[in-house]
Structure 1
């Protein structure tokens, strides 16, 4: 797209935002004829103020219109259009809603519609629909930011901040899946701040887990471990405080599990084992795999994290044994995203014990269950590439077909 003139870029993004020329013209305060001439290149865009206004209406960064964005490649092996990631980045970097005192919103965004959108976005994430989320998150972020500004210190300020915190957390989760770890950290940091304004300790706790996941992927395992332990300590059930809610136990438990993986990453098997034990004790208080606070915390998920920690410690055989003894009924109640992620971990475990055929079977199982977990994740692409290099002879037809689809060399 770098070679396209700016008028063609404007037309491209107008179509991406599903705006007609007339609607676009109305929002700019221009005529439809003016828009048509700009898009055809018959009229030059040589004023900074006009380009800035167009970027505002289209909700894209000015550099995108000026020719410094990524090329759109629908066939991209990551399964997500790179310009969608740039759209999320641009929206996270917008500060209009943070300085709304200069330009207060003229109308209040409808919170009831936002609640439905947030619930649908969480459901989409747990079904591993990352491509769809990448396309919708810029708009959801924009709406949530506008609501957070519009409701200010009024009676609905807390709810608006809560919705923004959730959207930013979903953004962090999706960006992490797509390998955009630094951007995921920024989104998670923003979620922590919004969740604090909402006064929701549990939402803060889950947002901090997202921060730690990004740090872990950025190679900062000790910082990730410290964050999880600090927040888990503050949420820990305490004697004399009455029976903690299942929601509080779930957030406390998932923080312990994330800390256990971080400890395993730095080779501290004793700490990892102790944290898994504490999480198992917390899960026993729940007695079932109920998805409180969208954590999927419960007895089965403890075992999945135990297997993940074993992989981090290089104990592939132990990770496979944990998988073999899983409670299948409990496993099948977990979201597709969580189960597919476990299959990827099991593929890594099988490679550690040099069972390449079994590793391929696990990768294909993940692809059947939640295709985006494999097709959108750089981690899965690297795993597939490694499996193909280590396969003796010709890979299976299914694995070769997946490699072709992902543009991974066989």
Structure 2
């Protein structure tokens, strides 16, 4: 879109925001005729102050309107529009806390609306609705940031910081799915900083898990493992007066699971066994699968990580055997994102042992359950491409159709 005149970009974003020319003009304090002339290129936008006013109304970064390379890939990015990724990037790069010293901060949404929006964002993520989430995250980031400034000195300061910390966590989790690992790490770092203001050590613990996951995706397994184990030791039930509440057990267990996956990536099978054993103990004490702090922690999730760790250790058959012994009731009760991620792991495990047909079926099962988990993830595309390359003869009609839809070749 960089090659388009700025007026055309304004028109494009106005329509994406579902604003009529009249409504857009009213919000700018201009006439409809002025907007029409700008969009047709009859009137030039030669003042940066006006461009920034337009960007604020359209809720996007001014650099996108100016066309300064912010849309590097205007094509659809693996099921999620690259423009939306750049909007998330722009929202993460805002420093409204500093700007507020010089200008009036943006008007924050009512707290009740912000709570609902954060809950909806979590649901979108855990149901693998990444396209919908990508469209809503930029605005949610801006609104949560504005609320954090507006309520910083009042009685709701900690609650708003808690909500903002969650929004950063959601951003980090989804960006990692999209292969934006460095941006995922930045969002996770922001979550840690904000979470420390809430007084909620469980929230901070989960935020540090997000940092560790981003580091692992960036190939930095050693610091990821050290961070995760350090936080897990501090949050262990009974340590430093810590209780054994379901919330603590869930966060502690989730940290152990992430650490086990990291240790497996490093080839440390002994550490993997120890960590999975401790996680199993926490899950047994928790008695059932729960979603405290959005961890989806419990006995079933321990088994899914056991399979994932086995695959990372190169033990594909062991990973398949874990799947075959799963408690189906517990597995089917998990949220779609968690189950689809497991099917993707199983596809890789079956490919590892040479069962390409079964690998394809696992990938298709993930796509049927949560399409975005396959269609929005560059990593899943790589798995699909590998399966196509290793398939003898013609792939199944369903797998070929999926590959054609995603433009994935051998």
Contact 1:360–1:387 (CA<8 Å) still a contact in 2?
yes
In the alignment, is residue 12 of structure 1 matched against residue 12 of structure 2?
A: yes
What is the TM-score when the length of structure 1 is the normalising length? 0.96
Aligned positions of 1:91-130 closer than 5 A: 91-105=91-105, 107-130=107-130
Q: What TM-score, normalized to structure 2?
A: 0.96
After superposition, residues 4-403 of structure 1 pair within 5 angstroms as: 4-67=4-67, 68=69, 69-73=71-75, 76=76, 78-105=78-105, 107-238=107-238, 241=241, 243-403=243-403
Q: Distance in 2 between matches of 1:106 and 1:351?
A: 51
Partner Cα separation in structure 1 for residue 193 and residue 326 of structure 2: 38
C-alpha contact (below 8 Å) 1:177/1:377 kept by paired residues: yes
Of stretches 102-111 and 91-100 in structure 1, the one that deviates more from structure 2 is: 102-111
Q: Is the 8 A contact 1:77 1:405 kept in 2?
A: no
Aligned mates of 2:86, 2:285 — CA distance in 1 = 43
Bigger drift between 379-388 and 157-166 goes to: 157-166
* CA drift at 1:36: 1.1
What secondary structure is seen at the aligned counterpart in 2 of 1:198?
coil
Stretch of structure 1 that moved more, 240-249 or 86-95: 240-249
What 5-or-longer segments of structure 1 have no aligned partner?
A: none
Post-superposition offset of 1:333: 1.3
- 1:18 & 1:240 partners in 2: Cα distance? 53
Per-residue CA deviation, residues 129-155 of structure 1 (Å, 9 max, x unaligned), is: 000000000111111111111112111
RMSD: 1.5
Q: Distance in 1 between matches of 2:350 and 2:192?
A: 37
Q: Which whole-Å CA distance do the structure 2 matches of 1:396 and 1:289 have between them?
A: 36
Secondary structure at 2:395's aligned position in 1?
coil
Residues 316/270 of structure 1: CA separation in 2 closer, same or farther (3 Å cut): same
